[in-house]
């Protein structure tokens, strides 16, 4: 029975890399067929490929970063949780008759410490994406998340959240079920929790759907992740009446990790493997796990009252500006 090789999913700006890789493979095959030693030339071409990869991924535009953040093979919440945890048990249901697969969570151990981990979960293919609403949580998903966080607070377990969503579920049914109230409730209650909260933007993070699980003591963000109030496509459709101007919107939204670090929105940028997290998932896992352990170690030294005050002050500083007089 014939088998088909799984081909990598290439982004537009990765095509020169693919062409160079094809050329290297062709030279290698021709050399083997003719018994010619071209190892020196191969090494030169491989070095050029690495240099080109570094150049491309070192100068990505905001819209290109968005493509990387949305890559279908980028590690998901469950990928990270299962890879970093010593033990893991998923918990289900909001205790109001709903269990949203777009927002997952449960209890586990990280570095031997009991923690509660939760986050947005997308699918790997069309069928799975439909089942998980493309990572867009319903009101029940946010209520499930809050239930798990209250459980963590009751038993003194730190909370880790992983954010990767185009937004909350935008349906009439979701609005009828209180989407705005569910997100607002989470925002308020997360400020009052006693335990450490570390949030990590692992992919795309847009709108209130992202905010609903991102109120924490520390907000980490992967190098090629994006985080802002609205998707570039929606922003372009509103401002310019043309969704095709999404790249222009992506630039003005200041949604990249360097922009957000400069603005004081995020606390730490997590470097990604050259080529993005999807090119080396284990490398991304190692980086994220160490960052979580380091931040938890610092936060565990603080008293609950200190963490709550720092959390409050952290968000009060966001958006502060100074008016300069021209007189």
CA distance 19 to 100: 42
Q: Mean of the pLDDT values across residues 195-208?
A: 97
Judge whether residue 232 has pLDDT over 80.
Answer: yes
> Residue 110 in contact with residue 88, Cβ under 8 Å?
no
CB atoms within 10 A of CB 252: 12
> Residue 140 in contact with residue 96, Cβ under 8 Å?
yes
CB atoms within 10 A of CB 187: 16
For residue 305, report the phi and psi dihedrals to the nearest 5 degrees.
Answer: -65, -35
CATH topology of domain 65-317: 2-enoyl-CoA Hydratase; Chain A, domain 1 (3.90.226)
For the chain, the distance separating the N- and C-terminal CA atoms, rounded to the nearest angstrom, is 81
Greatest alpha-carbon pair distance for the chain in Å reads 81
Least trusted range by pLDDT, from 26-30, 55-59, 131-135: 26-30
Supply 125's token pair: 């293919």
Of the two residues 223 and 35, the one the predictor is more confident about is 223
> Residue 116 in contact with residue 124, Cβ under 8 Å?
no
What pLDDT does residue 47 have? 84
CB atoms within 10 A of CB 59: 9
Judge whether residue 231 has pLDDT over 50.
Answer: yes
Judge whether residue 181 has pLDDT over 60.
Answer: yes
> Residue 308 in contact with residue 194, Cβ under 8 Å?
yes
Confidence of residue 29 (pLDDT cuts 50, 70, 90): confident
The alpha carbon torsion through 55, 60, 61, 66 (nearest 10 deg) reads 160
Supply 44's token pair: 């030169």
Judge whether residue 5 has pLDDT over 70.
Answer: no
What pLDDT does residue 234 have? 94
> Residue 288 in contact with residue 77, Cβ under 8 Å?
no
What pLDDT does residue 8 have? 58
Cα–Cα–Cα angle for 205, 81, 111, nearest 5°? 125
What pLDDT does residue 4 have? 41
The alpha carbon torsion through 286, 292, 298, 302 (nearest 10 deg) reads -160
Least trusted range by pLDDT, from 26-40, 103-117, 258-272, 311-325: 26-40
DSSP states of 129-152: HHHTGGG---HHHHHHHHHHHHHH
What pLDDT does residue 45 have? 80
pLDDT, tens digit (0-9, with 9 covering 90-100), for 235-279: 999 999 998 999 999 999 999 999 999 999 999 999 999 989 999
What pLDDT does residue 7 have? 53
CA distance 210 to 16: 34
Task: Tell me the C-alpha to C-alpha distance, in Å, between residue 169 and each of 74, 89, 263.
Answer: 21, 25, 28
Looking at the chain, which residues constitute the CATH 3.90.226.10 domain(s)? Answer: 65-317
The alpha carbon torsion through 243, 246, 248, 252 (nearest 10 deg) reads 110
> Residue 65 in contact with residue 256, Cβ under 8 Å?
yes
pLDDT > 70: what percent of the chain? Answer: 97
The alpha carbon torsion through 239, 244, 248, 251 (nearest 10 deg) reads 100
Q: Mean of the pLDDT values across residues 104-124?
A: 96
Confidence of residue 2 (pLDDT cuts 50, 70, 90): very low
What pLDDT does residue 35 have? 75
Mean pLDDT computed over every residue of the chain: 91
pLDDT, tens digit (0-9, with 9 covering 90-100), for 146-171: 999 999 999 999 999 999 999 999 99
Q: Mean of the pLDDT values across residues 70-74?
A: 93
Confidence of residue 3 (pLDDT cuts 50, 70, 90): very low
Judge whether residue 118 has pLDDT over 90.
Answer: yes
Judge whether residue 297 has pLDDT over 50.
Answer: yes
pTM given for the model? 0.89
- Residues ≥6 apart with Cβ < 8 Å to 181: 139
What pLDDT does residue 288 have? 98
Query: Does residue 88 sit in helix, strand or coil?
Result: strand
């Amino acid at each position: 029975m014939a088998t088909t090789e799984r081909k990598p999913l290439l982004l537009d700006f990765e095509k020169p890399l693919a062409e160079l890789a094809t050329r290297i493979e062709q030279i290698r095959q021709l050399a083997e067929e003719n018994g010619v030693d071209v190892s020196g030339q191969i090494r030169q071409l491989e070095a050029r490929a690495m240099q080109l990869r570094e150049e491309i991924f070192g100068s990505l535009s905001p819209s290109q970063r968005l493509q990387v953040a949305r890559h279908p093979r980028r590690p998901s919440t469950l990928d990270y949780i299962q890879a970093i945890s010593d033990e893991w048990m998923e918990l289900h249901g909001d205790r109001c008759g709903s269990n949203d697969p777009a927002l997952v969570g449960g209890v586990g151990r990280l570095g031997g410490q009991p923690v509660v981990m939760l986050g947005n979960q997308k699918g790997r293919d069309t069928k799975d994406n439909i089942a998980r609403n493309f990572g867009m949580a319903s009101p029940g998903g946010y209520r499930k998340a809050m239930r798990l966080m209250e459980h963590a607070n009751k038993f003194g377990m730190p909370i880790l959240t992983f954010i990767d969503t185009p937004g909350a579920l935008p349906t009439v049914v979701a609005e009828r079920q209180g989407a705005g109230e569910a997100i607002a409730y989470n925002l308020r209650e997360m400020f009052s929790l006693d335990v450490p909260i570390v949030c990590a933007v692992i992919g795309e993070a847009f709108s209130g759907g992202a905010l609903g699980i991102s109120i924490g003591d520390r907000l980490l963000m992967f190098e090629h992740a994006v985080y802002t109030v609205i998707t570039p496509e929606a922003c372009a459709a509103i401002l310019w009446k043309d969704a095709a101007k999404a790249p222009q919107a992506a630039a003005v939204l200041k949604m990249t990790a360097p922009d957000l670090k400069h603005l004081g929105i995020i606390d730490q940028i997590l470097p990604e493997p050259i080529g993005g997290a999807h090119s080396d998932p284990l490398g991304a896992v190692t980086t994220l796990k160490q960052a979580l352990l380091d931040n938890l170690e610092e936060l565990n030294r603080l008293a609950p009252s200190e963490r709550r005050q720092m959390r409050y002050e952290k968000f009060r500083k966001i958006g502060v500006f100074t008016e300069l007089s021209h007189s």
